[in-house]
Structure 1
Amino acid sequence: MRNLYILLCVLAISLVSGQTSINFEKSDFSTILEKAEKENKLVFLDAFASWCGPCILMEKNVFTDPEVYTYYNQHFINARIDMEKGEGRELAKKYGVNTYPSYLFLNGKGEVVLRGYGYLKEEQFVRLGQDALIQVGGIELKKRFMEGEEDPEFLKQAFGIFIKSDPLFAKQIAERYFSKFTLKELDKLEVAMLLNSVKSATDSNYAKFISLKQNLLEHIPAEALDKLQRQYQINGAIDSALNLETGKWDKDLFLENTKELLTTKQAKELWQEVGLNFFGLTKNFKEYEALALEVMEEERLLEPQLTTQILYTFAENIENKESFRAALDYGIKVHSGHSTPELSYLIAKLYHKLGNRKLALKYATESVALTKEKGADATIPEKLLKEITQ
């Protein structure tokens, strides 16, 4: 019944307004910003390119959906600008637009409130607009928090606003809440706040988690809570072994701290995966290369995402051709069981660096095809394909 009511409301609005799509302004961008400032609304900017397939599909299938255009016409000043023509070129530079379609939600001063990317279904696209408005509402809350606000109801409200849009900030809110108040019982929102404020046994609220564990059992099954505590302890062992300032990762300390939590095999595999992420983050590519070669030599069947990370890091930061060949051999094994456009692209790039034009061409062509099958922007693999054929 509720869905029927919404449909009738949307139909009534569209009949009255005569709209069949999002109403995009025809003015120049500065005039659009002035209008947004005057009406106290956000600008929704559809940053597109004429050759972009998903952009065309959004215009055809999503912008014409009654629920979509009713929501966007009511809440935003809408603009649709080709980023490769006219003032679009300068806007692309200003806002760092290099993926199409990109969706920018801007205030009247031209400041970005929220971004979105790619082809989105109707309900996803409406949710993106809702998130932009929530983000605006959160600006004042964030200001009050930064000024030291400690009112418990305010902190609960702010947590509810930011838990989806900015989970790291929501963690800060929850940490303040539990540092200021002594609780014997927790409601559902407080359970969510506590669990969100603890990521590892080294977090300030871990002791609070332990002290309130009996109360948490009223909301969470004992088995799930024990698994959560174990994960906090594992994360704590990782945190204790990492030093971002020095770029050091103490393997022996990590293995010692996890011997009661993980099997020897589990601890080694986790050490390898965390180590790869850590050495990549700290740009210690010598250690990264050595660890990645160790992982590949053991022929661990890594998931495509981690294999893609290894191949990307090798293609961008490693110069040793023997290491290239090892990465290629491993990448092809993973690719044979689970091909992705990203893996195809990186295999092509590595072959290109090794001077194997035939195989580089094969995988670059495959990457372009797989990318287009997904309805995604194929500019990057097409650029590599062009480089190979020149």
Structure 2
Amino acid sequence: MKKIILLFCFLVCVWGNAQNQTLFLDKNYQEVLREAQQSNKPIALMFYATWCQHCKKMKNEVFTDADVATYYSSHFVCMAIDSESKDGTQLKEYFQKKFNVKYYPTIAYLDAHENLLNCISGEFKKEDFIKEGLLALTPETQFGTIKNEFYKDVSQGENCLRYIVFARKAGLDATSIAQTYLKTKKEDDYFTELNWKIMANGINNIEAKEVSFINLHKEDFAKVSSPIRVEKKLVFLASDNLRPLAELTDTLNYFRIRPIAAAFHIRKVDSLLFKFDLTICANAKNWKKYQKYAETSVSDFAWKDSNTLIQIATDFKDFIAEPKALELAISWTQQAITLGPAMNKYVLLTQLYMKTKAYTKALESAEQGKSIATSFGWKTDEIDRLITEIKTKKK
């Protein structure tokens, strides 16, 4: 019996080890490059993040597949690198003119001279992952070939679109590629299905003149695509260009570019601008401007969004002292409560009343919050503390 148990444990260990992928392991890039040059094999370089679930799924379910392991180990020198490590950051910077790591995982296929062959991002099934490897090995479908085919005759739309698609896969801005092609056409000739695809996929810089042209001719482009596609393109441009500036608190460029997006006159874009405006003003601690944007647009873009109402009202409580502004914050918090009661909402409403020295209303709010909390079985420690504080101030 003891021997059977030991044999079972041994088999479990062997099986467990077999499940640990050995295809894309963390390695030194220079050593991998030398191996590629000596073996005359291309490199498959995976950038991952430790928190990325797609990366983990690829490692656990795709790289462990026998067909994938055989194909890639036979045709490539494979390696992985933590994109957020020191070495990973340096390697991303080294390759940023050839490809950019925007999503995880990103896998770049390079020849032994570090020329980009193909680049993919995201999660792939095993069949598709093998196909991407085949594209990297086939001269006709390699990045350099597709690029050269376009530049042989930049007036050829199909070649332009193909190049744009591959450039986007590599995380590159394809705006200049699309513009090179469009310069060979008259503006009156832009309104074709192919030219729309080139503009929709290639023009990604919101400051490009083609963006204003699309905005002015929404209906014309809708005829060769659809109104929904045209709107989605403009919404994407606003989000992709302005979100990073807001999050990085780049106020100079944000407020320089913002009017372009505002000129789209699309409600989804206006809603994005409202959120970005608040984000950048909060990051910059420009509470006067924050107050202005909130007071102007909360009713239009946040009235049915409880979380946003509470966040804005909390910021007013913490950073704004004007009585009229605080009254607005109170009304926003009351609206959030009507959307669904929660302990933090009653606490905030009570604190806002206290800040305006409306202690009677503060006590009513606190006691109402405590009653609801008790009925739901929620903790009342914080609201009890506020009730005690209010009663002390009312004496």
Superposition TM-score, scaled by structure 1 size: 0.45
Larger radius of gyration: 2
Flag the structure with more relative contact order, 1 or 2, with Cα contacts below 8 A and sequence separation at least 6: 1
